[in-house]
Amino acid sequence: MTALGISGLILAGSFLAGLLGALTGLGGGMVIVPLLTIGFGVNIRYAIGASLVSVIATSSGAAAAYVREGFTNIRIGMFLEIATTTGALIGALVAGLVSTSAIAIVFAAVLVYSAYASSRPRVEHVSHDLSDPLARWLRLNGTYPTPEGVQPYGVQRVTTGFGLMLVAGILSGLLGIGSGAVKVLAMDNAMRLPFKVSTTTSNFMIGVTAAASAGVYLRRGYIDPGLSFSVMVGVLIGALAGAKILTRAHPKHLRMVFSVVIVALAAEMVYKAITGRI
């Protein structure tokens, strides 16, 4: 097959990855890295580099819209980016020191956890308890728009959320993903943010986190321009299409489809890692 034909297939696959990622809220990187490594035989480090470029592109456009609509808590995002960017740099540096098989097995574990997390319904947390002194000192408490009017919320367990965000950043830099499942755990479960606030704030942060680790991958030569361009365009178009479909789709069914897909990808990645084919 010609290089143009392969690029077209990668573009189509990236479109599906972006579509699935947008429909489930966990990002196209969860699908694009195993798709490239398993389906096209791309070295996993180059697949991660291309995924990071697509994460930067897709998060940038959506983040601006969410900030304009008043959902994103910029103060929380800027504070937690200290943890995620530090973690991303650590993860990107570690990625160059460990074997590709080890990276594949870690990626498979994250895929399985993400499948579990996406299959569980998200509960709306609106805490009015402003007891966390660190949240008050940093002025992290905020408001967000609802059909009934502006809703205030308090922020809980800031240090726990910060620690989990460090883990999310490490996974992002190591695996080239947005680490949406870990960020949901940090902001929804630990910090008790309303899910619309946590989702939009996470999107606001993802691009900066990916940019930090992408610089390390670029310096090491793991970002191929041709591959990254096809992936970026495909994921971006898929994410935009997914955002339009989301308003008419059934979230429970989408989560089930996504869970099945990524568990299958995880099993294949483990098999290929054990047999030395990644």
Q: In the prediction, which pLDDT does 88 show?
A: 92
Q: In the prediction, which pLDDT does 75 show?
A: 93
DSSP track, 110-165: HHHHHHHHHHSPPPP--------HHHHHHT--EEEEETTEEEEE----HHHHHHHH
More confident residue, 200 or 88: 88
The predicted model gives 96-104 an average pLDDT of 89
Domain boundaries, the chain: 3-274
For 157-171, the pLDDT digits (tens) are 999 999 999 998 998
Measured in degrees and rounded to the nearest 5, phi and psi for residue 2 equal -75, 165
The label of the residue with tokens 């697509």 reads 54
For 230-242, the pLDDT digits (tens) are 999 998 888 778 7
Q: Are 86 and 173 in contact (CB under 8 A)?
A: no
The count of residues in the chain is 278
Q: What pTM value is reported for the model?
A: 0.84
Greatest mean pLDDT range, 30-44, 167-181, 264-278: 30-44
